[in-house]
C-alpha cells in the first residue's frame, strides 16, 4: 500500500475540484503528486522565472502571492489552488509565490491536469469558475478591469467550445455529388459519414477542391472514396484549448463530437476551426477592441447584441455572476465612452469646460447585465455666471446626442427622464452639491427615492477630480445631518421579505403585471438598499457594487459576517435568476410568472428572502427603528 498517496488522497478528496473526481482518478493523481516543504519566507516561484509544468495546492500553512513591489495580491490557505493561470499562460511567472508561514504544498503536473481533471465535466467547470473569479480586478477602476480582460484572454480557452449541435450527415453509399448538394443546401463546409448514427468518416470543402476539382476522383464515386477516416472525436465537454490542440496535432479543421468522446457512441455535434475563430471574436476583450474601432451607434448595437450571446454562454457554464456583472458593465461602459466620443464630434467643437458622465442606478453599481432603460447624469466644472447658460446648453445638446445613440444601441430612454438631457440631471458641481444637500436635509419620500438612485453613481467618462469633489461634498452633508441615515434606514425597510402570512409569494395585485412576482422591487432592491445604507454609515464612498459592499462590510463588521455573507450569496442567486429569466423571455427579467417556476427555484428564491429579513433586522437595531415593527 502507498501510505503517502493514501494520505494525499484523503486530504484532496475534501476540496474541489478533487471532490468530484472518481476514486480511481483521484488516487492516480495522489500517487503522482510531489510534496514540497517550504520554510517561512521561502519562495516557491519568482517573477521572471519560466513557468513550471505544475500547479499547486496548499496542504498546510499559507502561501502569499506578491507583486514585484512586494504588495500582497492573494493569500492561499489550506485547500486553495494557485499557479493554474500561469501554467495555462506559459512564459514567465508574473507574481512571486512565497510561504508566509511554514508550509507544505502539493505540486500537480499539467499532464495530471489534462488526463484526469479537464476530462471530468464537474471538475473542469469548477476550474473555469475559479479562474474567472480570480480574474476579477481588485480595483474598482473600469479601465483596470478592461486591462485585466485583455491580459486574461487565455480565459477564453478554458470555456467549453460552442459546437454545432445539428451536424449534417450522410451514409457511406452516398455519392460525392449528392453529398456536395447537401453541403450546398445546408450552407455547411463538411458532412459526416455515419453508420447507425456513429461517425466513421468526414468530407470537407477542402476534399472537394483537392480531390474532385483536380480530377483525381469523379463526382459519381461514393463518399467512402474521399472521406477522411477514422474521424477524430471528442466529448461534449471539449474546451476551446483542447479543440485547438487537437486540430494542430492532427492537422485537421473539424472535430466530431460524440456522447462519450469516442467513435463508439452517437454523433451529437461538429466543431470547426471557424467555430473557434468566432468564439475568439466574441470574447470580452475582442468585443471591447471592436467597440473602440466602431464608427456608429448601429455598429455598437450589433456588438451589444453579441454580448448577450457571451452572457448566455457564461450562464450555461456557471461562470460566477459577480465576474459576469463586472464584465458586462465594462462592455457597457466602453460602448458609452465611444458614444460620447461620437457626440463630441457631432457637436463640432470641444467641451467648453471639464465634465464627467455618470452612470447611476444598476449600471452605476455595475449590475446592469440586461438591456434595461437608461439612468445617467452629467456634471460639469463650475463656470462664471456669464458663461453658465452657453455651457449648460452645450452639455444638454451633447447629452441629447448621447441618450439618442444609447437608445439606438438598445438602452431604452428612461420613462422618468432620469437622463442627462434633462436639465435637472445636467448640472455644475456646485449645483449638484446643493441638490444633494436638499435631498439630505429634507428627506421626504421623493428625495429619499432620488438619493437611493443617485448615491450609486459611477464615473464612466470624463474628469475624475470633478466626481471626487462631488463625492466629498455629499459625504460632508451626510456627516452634518446624522438623522439622514435613520431616514434612509426607514426607507430601506419599506420592502419587507416578500412572503405573506401564509408563506406565499407577494405578487402584483393589478396592472400589466398582475399576479407576477417583481423580483427587482421585492427581493433585490431591499438587499441593494441595505448594503448602500450600511456602507454609507461607515463613510465609505469608493464602493458602489452591492456584492463588493457586502464583502467590505464583512471586513468592517466581523461580528455580522454570517449575515453579510448570506446577503451576498442571496444577491448573487437573485441576479443570476433575473438574468436567466430576462434572456429567456427577452425582457428585463423583472417580472416573473410563478407558475413557470420549478419547486426547486421557488425554494431557492424563498431562501434569498431570509437574507432580506436578516439584514433588515440588523438595520432596525442599528438605527433604532424597531418602532416600525
CATH number at residue 46: 2.60.120.10
Cis amide prior to 230 (ω within 30 degrees): yes
Q: Are 406 and 339 in contact (CB under 8 A)?
A: yes
| 137 vs 145: CA distance, rounded Å | 5
Place of cell 448615491: 455
Q: Which three cell numbers stand for residue 472?
A: 466629498
Lowest mean pLDDT among 105-109, 237-241, 486-490, 537-541: 237-241
Q: Are 222 and 201 in contact (CB under 8 A)?
A: no
Count CA atoms within 13 Å of residue 574 on its CB side: 31
The predicted model gives 370-386 an average pLDDT of 92
Dump pLDDT digits (tens) for 430-454.
999 999 999 999 988 888 888 888 8
pLDDT of residue 159: 64
Question: Does the residue 135 lie in any domain?
Answer: no
Dump pLDDT digits (tens) for 59-100.
988 899 998 888 887 778 888 888 887 876 677 888 999 999
Which helix (H) or strand (E) segment holds residue 54: the answer is: strand 54-60
Question: Does the residue 237 lie in any domain?
Answer: yes
Are 265 and 302 in the same domain?
Answer: no
Question: Does the residue 589 lie in any domain?
Answer: yes
Neighbours of 216 (CB within 10 A): 10
Question: For residue 355, which phi and psi values (nearest 5 degrees)?
Answer: -150, 170
Are 48 and 84 in the same domain?
Answer: yes
Are 215 and 341 in the same domain?
Answer: no
Q: 511-528: string of b/e by CB count within 10 Å (b at 16+)?
A: eeeeebbbbbebbbbbbb
Are 361 and 461 in the same domain?
Answer: yes
For the range 45-49, what are the long-range contacts, defined as Cβ-Cβ under 8 Å and sequence gap of 24 or more? 45/83, 45/86, 45/93, 45/96, 45/97, 46/93, 46/96, 46/97, 47/92, 47/93, 47/94, 47/95, 47/96, 48/92, 48/93, 49/92, 49/93
Cis amide prior to 567 (ω within 30 degrees): no
pLDDT band of residue 151 (cuts 50, 70, 90) is: very low
Dump pLDDT digits (tens) for 13-69.
888 788 888 888 999 999 999 999 999 999 999 999 999 989 999 998 889 999 888
Mapping DSSP to helix (H, G, I), strand (E, B) and coil, where does residue 195 land? strand
Residue 534: partners with Cβ closer than 8 Å, 6 or more residues away:
549, 553, 619, 622
pLDDT of residue 372: 83
Closest by Cα among 208, 248, 253 to 226: 208
pLDDT of residue 126: 62
Are 406 and 469 in the same domain?
Answer: yes
Are 420 and 397 in the same domain?
Answer: yes
Lowest mean pLDDT among 164-168, 312-316, 355-359, 429-433: 312-316
Mapping DSSP to helix (H, G, I), strand (E, B) and coil, where does residue 193 land? strand
Rg (CA), the chain: 28
Are 419 and 520 in the same domain?
Answer: no
Question: Does the residue 560 lie in any domain?
Answer: yes
Dump pLDDT digits (tens) for 288-341.
778 888 999 999 999 998 888 888 888 877 777 887 888 888 889 989 999 999
Count how many domains the chain has.
4
The predicted model gives 136-163 an average pLDDT of 48
Mapping DSSP to helix (H, G, I), strand (E, B) and coil, where does residue 617 land? helix
Question: Does the residue 49 lie in any domain?
Answer: yes
pLDDT of residue 628: 44
Residue 582 clears pLDDT 50, i.e. is over it: yes
pLDDT of residue 91: 78
pLDDT of residue 495: 81
Are 180 and 264 in the same domain?
Answer: yes
Are 334 and 437 in the same domain?
Answer: yes
Question: Does the residue 502 lie in any domain?
Answer: yes
DSSP of 539-550, one letter per residue? Answer: T--S---HHHHH
DSSP of 296-319, one letter per residue? Answer: SHHHHHHHHHHHHHHHHHHHHTT-
Domain boundary among 414, 446, 481: 481
The predicted model gives 606-615 an average pLDDT of 89
Are 308 and 447 in the same domain?
Answer: yes
Number of residues assigned to the chain: 629
Are 80 and 173 in the same domain?
Answer: no
Residue 494: partners with Cβ closer than 8 Å, 6 or more residues away:
none
pLDDT of residue 281: 56
Mean pLDDT of the chain, nearest integer: 86
Q: Are 201 and 193 in contact (CB under 8 A)?
A: yes
pLDDT of residue 350: 95
Residue 153 clears pLDDT 50, i.e. is over it: no
| 69 vs 394: CA distance, rounded Å | 45
Alpha carbon 530 to its chain centroid, in Å, reads: 23
597: which DSSP letter? S
| 208 vs 217: CA distance, rounded Å | 9
Closest by Cα among 226, 146, 239 to 191: 226
pLDDT band of residue 125 (cuts 50, 70, 90) is: low
191: which DSSP letter? E
Lowest mean pLDDT among 105-119, 378-392, 533-547: 105-119
pLDDT band of residue 154 (cuts 50, 70, 90) is: very low
Lowest mean pLDDT among 313-327, 516-530, 563-577: 313-327
**Which residue has better confidence, 599 or 9?**
9
Q: Which residues sit opposite 592 in a β-bridge?
A: 517
Question: Does the residue 186 lie in any domain?
Answer: yes
The predicted model gives 558-574 an average pLDDT of 93
pLDDT of residue 138: 34
Give the residue numbers spanning the domain of 57. Answer: 3-117
Domain boundary among 428, 447, 481: 481
97: which DSSP letter? E
18: which DSSP letter? G
pLDDT of residue 571: 94
| 120 vs 24: CA distance, rounded Å | 12
Q: Which residues sit opposite 271 in a β-bridge?
A: 255
| 213 vs 218: CA distance, rounded Å | 9
The predicted model gives 604-620 an average pLDDT of 89
Residue 143 clears pLDDT 50, i.e. is over it: no
Q: Which three cell numbers stand for residue 387?
A: 458663461
Residue 141 clears pLDDT 50, i.e. is over it: no
Question: Does the residue 506 lie in any domain?
Answer: yes
pLDDT of residue 558: 94
Which helix (H) or strand (E) segment holds residue 563: the answer is: helix 561-585
Domain boundary among 452, 481, 510: 481
The arrangement of strands across the sheet holding 267-272 comes to 233-234, 254-258, 267-272
Residue 345 clears pLDDT 80, i.e. is over it: yes
Q: Where are the alpha helices (DSSP H) in 228-293?
A: 240-250, 273-281, 284-293
For the range 391-397, what are the long-range contacts, defined as Cβ-Cβ under 8 Å and sequence gap of 24 or more? 391/352, 391/353, 392/423, 392/426, 392/428, 394/347, 394/351, 394/352, 395/351, 395/355, 395/420, 395/426, 396/421, 396/423, 396/426, 397/347
Are 363 and 456 in the same domain?
Answer: yes
pLDDT of residue 514: 85
| Percent of the chain whose pLDDT exceeds 70 | 90
Burial class (CB in 10 A: 0-12, 13-18, 19+), 91: exposed
Residue 206 clears pLDDT 60, i.e. is over it: yes
The predicted model gives 114-129 an average pLDDT of 68
Residue 338: partners with Cβ closer than 8 Å, 6 or more residues away:
291, 292, 294, 300
pLDDT of residue 29: 93
Specify the CATH number for the domain of residue 208: 3.10.580.10
| 438 vs 417: CA distance, rounded Å | 20
Between the alpha carbon of residue 54 and those of residues 34, 81, 83, 88, 465, the distances in Å are 10, 11, 7, 10, 45
The predicted model gives 419-432 an average pLDDT of 96
| 64 vs 82: CA distance, rounded Å | 10
**Which residue has better confidence, 457 or 320?**
457
Q: Three-class SS string for 320-362?
A: CHHHHHHHHHHHHHHHHHHHHHHHHHHHCCCCCCCEEEEECHH
Amino acid at each position: 500500500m502507498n501510505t503517502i498517496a493514501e494520505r494525499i488522497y484523503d486530504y484532496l478528496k475534501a476540496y474541489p475540484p478533487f471532490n468530484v473526481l472518481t476514486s480511481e482518478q483521484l488516487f492516480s493523481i495522489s500517487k503522482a503528486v510531489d510534496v514540497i516543504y517550504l520554510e517561512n519566507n521561502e519562495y516557491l516561484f519568482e517573477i521572471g522565472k519560466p513557468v513550471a509544468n505544475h500547479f499547486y495546492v496548499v496542504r498546510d500553512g499559507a502561501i502569499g502571492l506578491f507583486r514585484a513591489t512586494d504588495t500582497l495580491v492573494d493569500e492561499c490557505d489550506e485547500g486553495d489552488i494557485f499557479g493554474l493561470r500561469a501554467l495555462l499562460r506559459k512564459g514567465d511567472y508574473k507574481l512571486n509565490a512565497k510561504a508566509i508561514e511554514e508550509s507544505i504544498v502539493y505540486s500537480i503536473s499539467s499532464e495530471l491536469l489534462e488526463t484526469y481533471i479537464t476530462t471530468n465535466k464537474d471538475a473542469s467547470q469548477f476550474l473555469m469558475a475559479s479562474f474567472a473569479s480570480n480574474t476579477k480586478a481588485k480595483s474598482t477602476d473600469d479601465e483596470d478591469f478592461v486591462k485585466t480582460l485583455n491580459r486574461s484572454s487565455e480565459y477564453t480557452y478554458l470555456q467549453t467550445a460552442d459546437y454545432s449541435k445539428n451536424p449534417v450527415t450522410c451514409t457511406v453509399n452516398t455519392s460525392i455529388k449528392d453529398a456536395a448538394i447537401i453541403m450546398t443546401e445546408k450552407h455547411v463546409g463538411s458532412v459526416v459519414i455515419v453508420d447507425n448514427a456513429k461517425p466513421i468518416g468526414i468530407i470537407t470543402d477542402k476534399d472537394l477542391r483537392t480531390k474532385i476539382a483536380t480530377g483525381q476522383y469523379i463526382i459519381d464515386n461514393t463518399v467512402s472514396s474521399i472521406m477522411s477516416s477514422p474521424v477524430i472525436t471528442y466529448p461534449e465537454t471539449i474546451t476551446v484549448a483542447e479543440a485547438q490542440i487537437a486540430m494542430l496535432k492532427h492537422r485537421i479543421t473539424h472535430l466530431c463530437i460524440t456522447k462519450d468522446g469516442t467513435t463508439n457512441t452517437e454523433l451529437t455535434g461538429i466543431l470547426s476551426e471557424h467555430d473557434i475563430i468566432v468564439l475568439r471574436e466574441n470574447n470580452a476583450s475582442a468585443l471591447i477592441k471592436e467597440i473602440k474601432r466602431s464608427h456608429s451607434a448601429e455598429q455598437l448595437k450589433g456588438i451589444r447584441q453579441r454580448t448577450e450571446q457571451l452572457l448566455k454562454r457564461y450562464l450555461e457554464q456557471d461562470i460566477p455572476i459577480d465576474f459576469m456583472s463586472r464584465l458586462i458593465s465594462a462592455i457597457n461602459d466602453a460602448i458609452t465612452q465611444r458614444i460620447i466620443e461620437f457626440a463630441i464630434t457631432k457637436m463640432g467643437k470641444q467641451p467648453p469646460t471639464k465634465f464627467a458622465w455618470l452612470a447611476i442606478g444598476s449600471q452605476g453599481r455595475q449590475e446592469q447585465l440586461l438591456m434595461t432603460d437608461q439612468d445617467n447624469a452629467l456634471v460639469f466644472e463650475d463656470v462664471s455666471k456669464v458663461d453658465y447658460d452657453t455651457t449648460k446648453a452645450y452639455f444638454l445638446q451633447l447629452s441629447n446626442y448621447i441618450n439618442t445613440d444609447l437608445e439606438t444601441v438598445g438602452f431604452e430612454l428612461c420613462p422618468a427622464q432620469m437622463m442627462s438631457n434633462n436639465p435637472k440631471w445636467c448640472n455644475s458641481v456646485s449645483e449638484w452639491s446643493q441638490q444633494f444637500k436638499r435631498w439630505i436635509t429634507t428627506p421626504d419620500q421623493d428625495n429619499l427615492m432620488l438619493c437611493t438612485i443617485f448615491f450609486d453613481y459611477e464615473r464612466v467618462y470624463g474628469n475624475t477630480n470633478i466626481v471626487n469633489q462631488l463625492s466629498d461634498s455629499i459625504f460632508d452633508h451626510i456627516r452634518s445631518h446624522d438623522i439622514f441615515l435613520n431616514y434612509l434606514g426607514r426607507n430601506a425597510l419599506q420592502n419587507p421579505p416578500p412572503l405573506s402570512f401564509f408563506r406565499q409569494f407577494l405578487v402584483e395585485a393589478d396592472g400589466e403585471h398582475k399576479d407576477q412576482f417583481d423580483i427587482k422591487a421585492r427581493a433585490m432592491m431591499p438587499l441593494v438598499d441595505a448594503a448602500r445604507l450600511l456602507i454609507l454609515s461607515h463613510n465609505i464612498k469608493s464602493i458602489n457594487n452591492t456584492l463588493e459592499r457586502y464583502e467590505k462590510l464583512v471586513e468592517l463588521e466581523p461580528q455580522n459576517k454570517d449575515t453579510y455573507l448570506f446577503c451576498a450569496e442571496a444577491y448573487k442567486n437573485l441576479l443570476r435568476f433575473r438574468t436567466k429569466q430576462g434572456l429567456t423571455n427577452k425582457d428585463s427579467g423583472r417580472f416573473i410568472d410563478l407558475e413557470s417556476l420549478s419547486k426547486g427555484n421557488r425554494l431557492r428564491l424563498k431562501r434569498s428572502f431570509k437574507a432580506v429579513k436578516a439584514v433588515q433586522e440588523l438595520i432596525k437595531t442599528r438605527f433604532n427603528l424597531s418602532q416600525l415593527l
